[in-house]
Chains A and B, each alone.
Chain A
Amino acid sequence: MKSHVWRPLYVALGIVAMILVLRMFIVPDDFGAHERGYMYGWHSKGNEAVWQKVSVKYKGGDSCKECHKDNYEDIKNSPHTDISCENCHGPRLEHPKDPIGLNIDRSRQLCLRCHLKLPYKASDRGTMKGINPDTHHPQEQCVLCHYPHNPTREAKK
């Protein structure tokens, strides 16, 4: 057979070889079927560490207690005891180094997340104390009258 008949085949073989060579360089060595097998575990192992390195912004727990003892004890002995500081004060990040101060959310909308009256008996929402925001001192900030760290007390003036 004439050589020009074979030529497209050589081209095709060349392309396949090129892809295989490129693949050697592009695909990382840690690519493979890991613990979850070929169907669910085919991945680059190093990516797991990438996800583990994401920074923790919400520090949670009792980390605020050391410096803000008064406020911490106020809220711990109140009906709001289970509300994490960071829900209203924002994520701690590296505070007090960075940022130096946190942005406190004093908006009416924040309180309404729980205290908008909804008559939903199938969930605990139905038994929560709530207001109708259109009739209960409209537009006013709740913290003008209520002390958020202990709602049984009046606001600090």
Chain B
Amino acid sequence: MNRREFCKKGLLIAGGLAIPLSALELFNPARLLAEKADKSKTRWVFLVDTHKCVGCGFCVKACKTENEVPYDANVTRTWVERYVITKDGKAHVDSPKGARDGFQSSKLDQNHAGMLEIKEEDIAKAFFVPKLCNQCDNPPCVQVCPVGATYQTEDGVVLVDRKWCIGCGYCVMGCPYGVRFFHPVYHVAEKCNFCYHRISKGMKTTCVEVCPFGARKIGNLKDPNDPVTKVVMNERVNVLKEEYGTKPQVFYLGLTKEVK
């Protein structure tokens, strides 16, 4: 190899190395968020740790009182589901009264099919999953509203205007998560709104406030230093029914395929 050839090949290798290096430049998710087109400073998101939830149902009890959802009506803005997966691969789910009183029996409430008893030795895994409104980035419930009664605020919370809701129920049908229902007193669509009256005062939602186990957390995704944002960015979180394209904003730690 003569000098001319050595220089040529040397330059080629150096150039070749430079390209993948620039392509591999790591992007900073925090900076990426800050540079997003919309200028709002807040995007409320929720984080649920299913490992920590023990199904006490204090969140459901407090939510119903705080948000004036009739206590004995079988509707609730948030609820807790119990999943018992047996060794034959079957998933058994129950949520008596939305777990307003927790789970007072080891038997699973299967409605008309009665109470289902599962022997301890048959259980492969069992756990609790709290559910609430996902405050989707593409909320289907808002799209289908024919009168502009439901909408999304700048900080990402989906609200219902009780004055404008005509009670057609399209949104109740449109929500893939079954979060919406009719308010038994006002007869209009009702849903979890991350306790909008509390979070806009700088407080936590009621369910977060009363959870003794830290299974529920609320945070601002636009704030890179928010503990919830850090978990969503850096840990293995999952969302419910991603295939619907709704871009849900309630993130779960410890989901398995049985959870719907």
B partners with A: yes
Answer whether residue B57 sits at the interface, using C-beta atoms and an 8 A cutoff: yes
Cβ–Cβ < 8 Å partners of A77 in chain B: none
Given A36-B151, A44-B164, A84-B212, check contact A113 B206 (CB 8 Å).
no
Bound complex: CA of A140 vs CA of B103, how far in Å? Answer: 19
From A39, A40, A54, A124, contact of B51 by CB (8 A)? A124
Contact present for B66 and A91 (CB under 8 Å): yes
CB nearest to A57 among chain B residues: B66
From B68, B142, B164, contact of A40 by CB (8 A)? B142
Cβ–Cβ < 8 Å partners of A42 in chain B: 148, 151
Contact present for A51 and B164 (CB under 8 Å): no
Q: How large is the interface on B (under 10, 10 to 19, 20 to 34, 35 or more residues)?
A: 35 or more
From A41, A43, A125, contact of B55 by CB (8 A)? A125
Cβ–Cβ < 8 Å partners of A113 in chain B: 55-58, 101-104
- The interface stretch among B195-203, B221-229, B231-239 is B195-203
Bound complex: CA of A111 vs CA of B222, how far in Å? Answer: 39
Contact present for B193 and A125 (CB under 8 Å): no
Bound complex: CA of A52 vs CA of B50, how far in Å? Answer: 30
A to B contact number (C-beta, < 8 Å): 160
Contact present for B62 and A91 (CB under 8 Å): yes
Contact present for A60 and B101 (CB under 8 Å): no
Q: How large is the interface on A (under 10, 10 to 19, 20 to 34, 35 or more residues)?
A: 35 or more
Contact with A along B121-132 (1 / 0, CB 8 A): 001011110000
Bound complex: CA of A46 vs CA of B164, how far in Å? Answer: 12
Bound complex: CA of A126 vs CA of B139, how far in Å? Answer: 36
Answer whether residue B214 sits at the interface, using C-beta atoms and an 8 A cutoff: yes
Shortest beta-carbon distance, B170 to chain A, in Å? 14
Cβ–Cβ < 8 Å partners of B57 in chain A: 113
Shortest beta-carbon distance, A78 to chain B, in Å? 12
- The interface stretch among B18-26, B153-161, B171-179 is B153-161
Question: Which residues in window 46-79 of B have CB below 8 A to A?
Answer: 50-58, 61-62, 65-68
Given A56-B197, A121-B126, check contact A48 B153 (CB 8 Å).
yes
Residues of B with Cβ closer than 8 Å to A?
38, 40, 50-58, 61-62, 65-68, 84, 101-106, 120, 123, 125-128, 138-139, 142-143, 148-154, 159, 161-164, 193, 196-198, 200-201, 203-204, 206, 209-210, 212-214
Inter-chain pairs besides A31-B148, A125-B127, 9 sampled, C-beta below 8 Å: A35-B153, A36-B151, A57-B65, A90-B65, A112-B104, A113-B104, A116-B102, A124-B53, A124-B54
